[in-house]
Amino acid sequence: MRDIEGMAATQSASPVDDATYDLLQALTSKLEAIEAYQLYAEDDGVRDLFERLGRDEVEHAEALLDALRQRLSNA
């Protein structure tokens, strides 16, 4: 039987720090939102709204990607 305490210590170790993880998670969320808005924009009556929201998400995703690139280049 494996040592449960040893497993917990091993599982909690992460190859990235919290800030890098947060940037990755936020970027993933933005990319998922962009994909959803593109799908929603196919519906009549809401196209303009979802296209505008999608453009905002792209801008935010680009900012997150730039921050992530900068963080990784300094690592």
pLDDT per residue as tens digits for the range 1-15 = 455 555 455 566 889
Q: Is 31 in contact with 61 (CB distance < 8 Å)?
A: yes
pTM for this predicted structure: 0.78
CB atoms within 10 A of CB 24: 14
pLDDT per residue as tens digits for the range 25-75 = 999 999 999 999 999 999 999 999 999 999 999 999 999 999 999 999 997
Q: Is the dihedral of CA 52, 32, 13, 68 positive or negative?
A: negative
Residue 37 lies in a domain: yes
pLDDT of residue 75: 74
Residue 2 lies in a domain: no
Residue 31 lies in a domain: yes
pLDDT of residue 14: 86
d(C-alpha 37, C-alpha 47), whole Å: 9
Q: Name residue, tokens 């947060």.
A: 22
Provide the residue range defining the domain that includes 55: 13-73
pLDDT of residue 13: 84
DSSP state of 42: T
d(C-alpha 75, C-alpha 72), whole Å: 5
Number of structural domains, the chain?
1
